[in-house]
Amino acid sequence: MTEIRMDVEFEHPPERVWRTITDRELLPKWFAESDLEPRAGSVFRLEPINAPGLDLVIEGELISLDEPHRMSMRWHTSELQTLVVWELAQTPAGCRLTMRESCVREQWDPAHRERLQESYRQLFAVRLPAVLDALAYREMNFAATVPGGGARRHRGLLAGAVAVVLAALSMIAVGVMVRPESTEQATAAPVGIPSASATVSPRAASSPAVSATSVPAVTAVAANATPSPSSSRSPQPRPETTTKPPAEAETALLAARYATVTSRLFGYQGEITINNTGRAGAPGWVVTVTLPPGMSTVSTASDASYEQKGRTVTFSGGPIAAGASARFQFDVGGAPLGEKQPAACAVGQQPCAGL
């Protein structure tokens, strides 16, 4: 493939997001040191910060600019030349940022491309939302006069805002303290899935739909019937009968565990690990997550397809061999204060551990 694409939704206005992607003081807080000047035709340098796959200094040229909607650039390194486009579109909750990077001549090798995709996911879906939340808090005008409230009402508003921030910070600390090790096995009760009995539909253009039908295996054992002896004959020796125990069905047994990876003022990033402890491979998996009441939405997911309907988000993925595991992460925006994890989670009909 010749293009890498990221689509991330924010509960922030386009103007605020535009500022974070063009301001040379804000860019280093989530992406790269830069001398970027937001003007068509300008040249600049980018020195990415802790971003695997973006290990080289980037020489850039800003091709076109339409503030605050679109910016196109050429990026040059000693190895590649790429065309990069950042676009912002208004949404009911805020805006959507789309990042597209395509190679001009040479192509990424598969390993380099995979590292780039993971770095972009961390940059745009984790680091950038944290900077936006901090910027939104900083832009609050606590010094403004509150009509009809006077000094007492103003002090109450300031105290309430401080309390909100302290509560959010405490939740972040708690989330870090209780996060399980990434290698910890899921302890939820496993759910049996007979092998070759599930069908995973391909992902649609917007979001996938996955259906799984489990048909339990049934083993029937017929007992040998023994005829009654005839009254005119002496009883015949009763033949010995043996009954073999039913063979143990080879099934996939799936269990899942949830963990909050990162937490911020207006959202969080979750991770779910699925383990197959059964004797057979699972042809696919489905995890259903219920978000808390409010305006929470899943903006991105890695290593999984997803579909959200109201508070219910359905994640799905490919096969898991017997004794193997799968892991995926998802980013939630607009989470209410104090609600930094789903209200419920289940793989099949079995609840996830960790909640």
- At 178, which CATH number? 2.60.40.290
126 lies in the same domain as 158 = no
In a domain, 288, yes or no: yes
Q: What percent of the chain has pLDDT over 90?
A: 41
Range in 1-5, 66-70, 154-158, 194-198 the model is least confident about: 194-198
**354 vs 224 pLDDT, higher one:** 354
CA distances from 85 to 61, 103, 263 (A): 12, 12, 29
Q: Is the preceding peptide bond at 68 cis, omega within 30 degrees of 0?
A: yes
Over residues 10-23, mean pLDDT: 94
Q: Residues with Cβ < 8 Å from 13, sequence gap 6 or more? A: 94, 95
Q: How far apart are CA 11 and CA 34, in angstroms?
A: 26
Q: Supply the pLDDT for residue 202.
A: 36
Q: Report whether 102 contacts 2 (CB < 8 A).
A: yes
Helix (H, G, I), strand (E, B) or coil at 203: coil
Q: Quote the pLDDT of residue 227.
A: 45
Asked whether residue 165 falls in the same domain as residue 83, the answer is: no
d(CA 83, CA 72): 7
Q: How many domains does the chain divide into? A: 2
Q: At residue 94, does pLDDT exceed 80?
A: yes
Are 172 and 114 in a shared domain? no
Q: Rounded to whole angstroms, how far apart are CA atoms 96 and 91?
A: 7
pLDDT band at residue 352 under the 50/70/90 scheme: very high
Q: Indicate the residue among 114, 138, 162 that finishes a domain.
A: 138
Query: What is the average per-residue pLDDT within 55-59?
Result: 90
d(CA 190, CA 87): 44
User: So what's the pLDDT on residue 163?
Assistant: 52
215 lies in a domain?
A: no
Percent of the chain surpassing pLDDT 70: 68
pLDDT score at 198? 39
pTM, whole model, 2 decimals? 0.46
* 124 and 161 inside one domain: no
The whole-number average pLDDT for the span 207-212 is 39
To the nearest whole number, what is the mean pLDDT of the chain?
A: 76
pLDDT tens for 100-127 read: 999 987 888 888 888 888 889 889 988 9
* 185 and 73 housed in the same domain: no
Residues 179, 296: one domain? Answer: yes
Say yes or no: 261 and 167 in one domain: yes
C-alpha closest to that of 261 among 316, 312, 309, 301: 301
Structural domain containing residue 24: 3-138
pLDDT of residue 287: 96
Assess if residue 234 is contained within a domain.
Answer: no
Tell me, yes or no, whether 121 and 19 share the same domain. Answer: yes
- Of 94, 109, 138, the domain-final residue: 138
Amino acid at 302: S
- For residue 209, being part of any structural domain is answered with no
Q: Residue 158: phi, psi to the nearest 5?
A: -65, -45
Do the Cβ atoms of 17 and 67 come closer than 8 Å?
no
Same domain, 171 and 54: no
Q: Is the pLDDT of residue 189 over 90?
A: no
CATH of the domain at 126: 3.30.530.20
Q: What b/e readout covers 172-211, taking b as 16+ CB neighbours within 10 angstroms?
A: beebeeebbeeeeebebebbbbbbebbebeeeeeebbebe
According to the model, what pLDDT value does residue 337 have? 63
Residue 245 falls inside a structural domain: no
Q: Are residues 195 and 330 in the same domain?
A: yes
pLDDT greater at residue 36 or residue 157: 36
Partners of 289 in beta bridges? 313, 345
User: Token match 């020796």: residue?
Assistant: 237
Strands 305-309 and 70-76: unpaired
CB 271 within 8 A of CB 294: no
- State mean pLDDT over 249-270: 86
pLDDT of residue 313: 95
Please check whether residues 78 and 197 belong to one and the same domain: no
pLDDT given for residue 270 in this prediction: 92
Cα gap 124→263, rounded to integer Å? 15
Q: Does the pLDDT value for residue 172 go beyond 70?
A: no
Given this model, what pLDDT does residue 290 score?
A: 94
Q: Does some domain include residue 225?
A: no
In a domain, 51, yes or no: yes
Closest by CA position to 275, among listed 182, 175, 177: 182
Inside any domain, residue 195: yes
- 179 and 322: one domain? yes
Q: Does pLDDT of 267 surpass 90?
A: no
Residues contacting residue 329 through CB under 8 Å, at least 6 positions apart: 261, 269, 270, 271, 272, 301, 302, 303
Spell out the alpha helix ranges (H) of the chain. Answer: 14-22, 110-122, 128-138, 150-178
Give me the pLDDT at residue 351, please: 94
Predicted pLDDT at 157: 44
**Confidence class for position 3, pLDDT limits 50, 70, 90:** confident
Query: Is the Cβ–Cβ distance between 127 and 119 less than 8 Å?
Result: no
Task: Give dist(CA 250, CA 278) in Å, integer.
Answer: 7
pLDDT at residue number 199: 38
